[in-house]
Chain A
Amino acid sequence: MISALRWLLRRLALAVLVVLGAATVAFAALHLAPGDPVRAVIGTLNPSQDLVDRVRVDLGLDQPLATQYGQLLGRLVTGDLGESYQLHRPVAEVIASEIGWTAQLAMASLVLALAPSVLLAVTTAGRRPALRRLSTVLELITASSPTFWIGTLLLAVFSFRLRLFPAAGGDGIEGLVLPAAAQAVGLIGIFTQVLRQSMERALDEPFALSARARGTGETALRLRHALRHALIPVVTLSGWITGALFSGAVVVETVFSRPGLGRTLVTAILGRDLPVVIGVVVVAAALFTLINLVVDLLYRVVDPRLREQAA
């Protein structure tokens, strides 16, 4: 119990460091990149020098970099993400209104990818050679197809031709199906390959022979024994992919004209909206560490051998 608490505290302290580190990198990158946020904020082509100077003072961009960086860290530590230059709203509010869309999409994509992958892996791991070969080819194709292309294809077929789903926006389930499917297709290939490979390894183990010798059928053997072993690499992969689904959402969000974090980030970068960019980066970093924490906890759920070890 004590060791579990100690482990959690250490992980949280590390998470804070990761978030501050991500903020630092974002800060440095934005100040190294060309383009002046002040001119972007004003927007007009030839603003007067007086206006530029006033806005610069307003935004605190007249201060030396070290001071700006110190102020940024000071605000972050108190949980203040600042105010958007462009939208004139608190960054926290902007992110809060967008993150739900992206989270919804990421979760839907993950579920849409995992369910068929498990089914495919259970059906083809170590048996049905013809189907297994066909599945392998399809996995390779889907895993190497770019998301925007699949998205466009889905739009062309299901929205424009069959008119089953809306082409853009759309609330609720209908609006979610196509973008989630577009992201899931590529993942199915990856998940199925990883699942099948580790399942086939588990099926070669002596415990699989023991289970067969008890009269356990091949499908039951895969569901009851092999799948659990195959879940360990899939949990690792899912953690990474969930993070990537948050940060990589911009592609589908653009193709399907959905609101979300990805588009907010791209708009903010183009508009030199420093607080929003840093805010999104900080939230993404926090999410990543949170997901990693969840992944570590899931390992313990899946594999009892890891439960007793102090981290």
Chain B
Amino acid sequence: MAGELVSVAGLHVEYRVGRTVVPAVRGVDLHLRPGECLAVVGESGSGKTAIAKALVGLTGPGSRVRADRLVVGGQDVNGLTDRGWRRVRGARVGLVLQDALTSLDPVRPVGAEIAEAVRNHRVVGRRAVAARVRQLLADAQVPQPELRARQYPHQLSGGLRQRALIAAAMAADPPVLVADEPTTALDVTVQARVLDLLAARKAEGTAVLLISHDLSVVARLADRVAVLHDGVVVETGDTAELLRAPTHPYTRRLLAATPTAHRRGARLAGPRTTPARVRSPRPTGVVAEVSGVSKVFRGPDRQPHRAVSDVSFTLSAGEILGVVGESGSGKSTLAHLLLGLLEPDSGRIGLFGRPWSGVPESRRRRGQVQWVQQDPLGSFDPRYRVSRLIEEAGADRARVHELLDQVGLDRTLADRHPATLSGGQRQRVAIARALAPSPEVIVCDEPVSALDVSVQAQILDLFTDIRADLGTAIVLISHDLGVVHHVADRVLVMRDGEVVESGEVTEVFAQPAHPYTRELIGALPRPQDAYAGQPEGVT
């Protein structure tokens, strides 16, 4: 069709793995006009990254791309040679990837990466390259562009890096920008600013293809959404329309799995399937007391840095306490203090009225406080089978089966190695292992951050079940306010090592007292934004 910058019909992408051919994308149609944003939403394995790569002709070795029509940046690229593609990449279509720390060359200055794109397409004369790089960085709202251009990716914050990456993708002014999970690794307030930057590009007429696993990110930017499942678009439509009245069951399931304000506490992944194993007697009263705890680290510049500063709270049996904060807020250090892996510099931590901090290791009751980490694969010995991983925490064979039942895993998985399990199954094994010594407290550090939204929903449901059945107190540390709001009873908001606000979740979210909490909540993308008609915060 005329006026379309991206026009794709019948796109197939296949990968050859050994002797078998695995289809990643099976007949996808996409259309994008100038100044329009189309979001492709799907979970891992849906083929969304294969689409992004196909649009820049970089599906890589062992892949095969077929399409009835493949127009990118207004140019027919179907069956183009690599030489031909090189004139299209960067000039007609720009690509922005997730996590600029690895997507920008770590050993080259940021400016050199942008200059490369400028030179590749001879955008300006050789002498004007440096000035053009500065201008591009300034356009991407990078302060002090002159200084930043000379710095290396690791010297920039996550938000600045991502903006520099966008500047590099826009260097030759391509009419189309493909952004594959551009904000996934970022804190919410930073994510909001990067989305604003993309919105500004869109307002200037760039067509944006946004690829994401997160419906709420998409709601903020996209005009239309295509929901991808197993390489097929199952539903496509106007963003507001699709979020309000999804027709396909998969879209409904995705939306139901996303924690949102009005469904707090509801089950996210459907009715309960695991048997209830109620513990008696259930623990009661105050489980843990943290009073005035501080921890100071010395940075590489030998300056003391207060990672946790004068934090106090109590934790009661059967309570879920959420701890939210952005990276560097001290929430993981707090977890290590609670677990007794670090000793506080000042302040005290008590467990059931007895001291927990400052006691010799032999007198700790390690089993009473357990840990669930973000990436269970990294915390499992890859050579151990599931049964041994759980037995290691002090369970016999019968108890292993009981625990697997409790976390909703099939007993046959006991003989598998962690690498052969899915992300969700692994996190369930981690929870089973944490439950093995019948702990009073489980500290979960970003337990669902690495999971797809539908799997995240199942794990969050599991936490609610554990609390209901066993009365275990759970400390849930997360950067995701939606997750904390959904399952937690009380919340601590942390910033720069301090608790800036705490209280009942419903109260804190409804009437945030501290400006930082308000900023966090304001930056939170929500699916309903799309139909609440909230204006784009273009800066």
The reply to whether B107 and A214 form a contact with Cβ atoms under 8 Å apart is no
Contact of A302 among B105, B107, B113 (CB under 8 A): B107
In the complex, B145 has a CB within 8 A of chain A: no
In the complex, the chain B residue whose C-beta lies closest to that of A303 is B107
Q: Cα distance A215–B104 when bound, in Å?
A: 15
The reply to whether B97 and A215 form a contact with Cβ atoms under 8 Å apart is no
The reply to whether B103 and A209 form a contact with Cβ atoms under 8 Å apart is yes
Q: Check A215/B107 contact, CB under 8 A, given A206-B99, A206-B102, A310-B300.
A: no
Contact of A309 among B93, B97, B104, B300 (CB under 8 A): B300
Q: Cα distance A207–B95 when bound, in Å?
A: 11
Q: Cα distance A126–B165 when bound, in Å?
A: 25
Q: Check A205/B102 contact, CB under 8 A, given A217-B86, A303-B107.
A: yes
Residues of A within 8 A of B82 (CB): 218
In the complex, B154 has a CB within 8 A of chain A: yes
Q: Cα distance A214–B98 when bound, in Å?
A: 16
The reply to whether B102 and A215 form a contact with Cβ atoms under 8 Å apart is no
In the complex, B90 has a CB within 8 A of chain A: yes
In the complex, B152 has a CB within 8 A of chain A: yes
In the complex, B479 has a CB within 8 A of chain A: no
In the complex, the chain B residue whose C-beta lies closest to that of A307 is B152
The distance from the CB of A186 to the nearest CB of chain B, in whole angstroms, is 29
Residues of A within 8 A of B105 (CB): 207, 210-211, 225, 228
In the complex, A54 has a CB within 8 A of chain B: no
In the complex, B51 has a CB within 8 A of chain A: no
Partner-contacting stretch, out of B168-176, B313-321, B437-445, B493-501: B168-176
Q: Cα distance A246–B58 when bound, in Å?
A: 47
In the complex, the chain A residue whose C-beta lies closest to that of B88 is A215
In the complex, the chain A residue whose C-beta lies closest to that of B95 is A213
Contact of B120 among A206, A210, A216, A218 (CB under 8 A): A216
In the complex, A304 has a CB within 8 A of chain B: yes
The reply to whether B102 and A305 form a contact with Cβ atoms under 8 Å apart is no
Residues of B within 8 A of A50 (CB): none
Most chain B CB inside 10 Å of its own CB: which residue of A207, A210, A211, A212: A210
In the complex, A224 has a CB within 8 A of chain B: yes
The reply to whether B154 and A305 form a contact with Cβ atoms under 8 Å apart is yes
The reply to whether B99 and A210 form a contact with Cβ atoms under 8 Å apart is no
The reply to whether B102 and A216 form a contact with Cβ atoms under 8 Å apart is no
In the complex, B106 has a CB within 8 A of chain A: yes
The reply to whether B300 and A308 form a contact with Cβ atoms under 8 Å apart is yes
In the complex, the chain B residue whose C-beta lies closest to that of A310 is B300
The reply to whether B300 and A211 form a contact with Cβ atoms under 8 Å apart is no
In the complex, B116 has a CB within 8 A of chain A: yes
The distance from the CB of A102 to the nearest CB of chain B, in whole angstroms, is 33
The reply to whether A228 and B107 form a contact with Cβ atoms under 8 Å apart is yes
Q: Check A206/B97 contact, CB under 8 A, given A213-B169, A302-B107.
A: yes
Q: Cα distance A214–B88 when bound, in Å?
A: 9
The reply to whether A215 and B117 form a contact with Cβ atoms under 8 Å apart is yes
The distance from the CB of A35 to the nearest CB of chain B, in whole angstroms, is 53
In the complex, B224 has a CB within 8 A of chain A: no
Q: Cα distance A302–B105 when bound, in Å?
A: 13
Main secondary structure of the interface of A (DSSP, over half): helix
Q: Cα distance A206–B300 when bound, in Å?
A: 28
In the complex, A222 has a CB within 8 A of chain B: no
Q: Cα distance A308–B106 when bound, in Å?
A: 14
Q: Cα distance A305–B53 when bound, in Å?
A: 29
In B103-131, which residues have CB < 8 Å from any A CB? 103-108, 113, 116-117, 120-121
The reply to whether A210 and B165 form a contact with Cβ atoms under 8 Å apart is yes
Contact of A215 among B53, B90, B99, B154 (CB under 8 A): B90
Q: Cα distance A309–B301 when bound, in Å?
A: 9
Q: Cα distance A283–B78 when bound, in Å?
A: 65
Residues of A within 8 A of B116 (CB): 211, 214, 216, 224
The reply to whether B58 and A213 form a contact with Cβ atoms under 8 Å apart is yes
Contact of A209 among B58, B117, B121 (CB under 8 A): B58
In the complex, B195 has a CB within 8 A of chain A: no
In the complex, A258 has a CB within 8 A of chain B: no
Residues of A within 8 A of B99 (CB): 206
The reply to whether A214 and B106 form a contact with Cβ atoms under 8 Å apart is no
Q: Check A213/B94 contact, CB under 8 A, given A206-B102, A206-B103, A207-B103.
A: yes
In the complex, A263 has a CB within 8 A of chain B: no
In A183-221, which residues have CB < 8 Å from any B CB? 205-207, 209-218
The reply to whether B169 and A214 form a contact with Cβ atoms under 8 Å apart is yes
The reply to whether A214 and B152 form a contact with Cβ atoms under 8 Å apart is no
The reply to whether B172 and A215 form a contact with Cβ atoms under 8 Å apart is yes
Q: Cα distance A224–B119 when bound, in Å?
A: 13
In the complex, B395 has a CB within 8 A of chain A: no
The reply to whether A214 and B117 form a contact with Cβ atoms under 8 Å apart is yes
Residues of B within 8 A of A228 (CB): 105, 107-108
Q: Check A210/B97 contact, CB under 8 A, given A205-B102, A216-B116, A217-B86.
A: yes
The reply to whether A215 and B86 form a contact with Cβ atoms under 8 Å apart is yes
Residues of A within 8 A of B169 (CB): 210, 213-214
The reply to whether A305 and B152 form a contact with Cβ atoms under 8 Å apart is yes
Q: Cα distance A49–B116 when bound, in Å?
A: 81
In the complex, B89 has a CB within 8 A of chain A: yes
In the complex, A272 has a CB within 8 A of chain B: no
Residues of B within 8 A of A212 (CB): 56, 58, 89
The distance from the CB of A2 to the nearest CB of chain B, in whole angstroms, is 10
Q: Cα distance A179–B95 when bound, in Å?
A: 51
Q: Cα distance A217–B86 when bound, in Å?
A: 7
The reply to whether B89 and A215 form a contact with Cβ atoms under 8 Å apart is yes
In the complex, B87 has a CB within 8 A of chain A: yes
The reply to whether B89 and A213 form a contact with Cβ atoms under 8 Å apart is yes
The reply to whether B107 and A210 form a contact with Cβ atoms under 8 Å apart is no
In the complex, B40 has a CB within 8 A of chain A: no
In B321-358, which residues have CB < 8 Å from any A CB? none
The distance from the CB of A208 to the nearest CB of chain B, in whole angstroms, is 8
Q: Check A214/B89 contact, CB under 8 A, given A206-B97, A207-B103, A207-B105.
A: yes
Q: Cα distance A141–B514 when bound, in Å?
A: 70
Residues of B within 8 A of A310 (CB): 300
In the complex, the chain B residue whose C-beta lies closest to that of A304 is B152
The reply to whether A209 and B89 form a contact with Cβ atoms under 8 Å apart is no
In B350-398, which residues have CB < 8 Å from any A CB? none
A-B pairs with beta carbons under 8 Å apart, 20 shown: A206-B102, A207-B103, A210-B97, A210-B113, A210-B169, A211-B113, A213-B95, A213-B169, A214-B117, A214-B169, A214-B171, A215-B87, A215-B91, A215-B117, A218-B82, A225-B108, A304-B107, A304-B152, A304-B154, A305-B107
Known: A210-B103, A210-B113, A211-B113. 9 other contacts (CB 8 A): A207-B102, A207-B105, A209-B53, A210-B105, A210-B169, A216-B120, A224-B116, A303-B106, A304-B152
A residues with CB within 8 A of B: 126, 205-207, 209-218, 224-225, 228-229, 302-305, 308-310
Q: Which 10 interchain pairs have the tightest Cβ spacing?
A: A213-B95, A215-B90, A214-B117, A214-B90, A215-B89, A215-B120, A206-B103, A207-B105, A304-B152, A206-B102
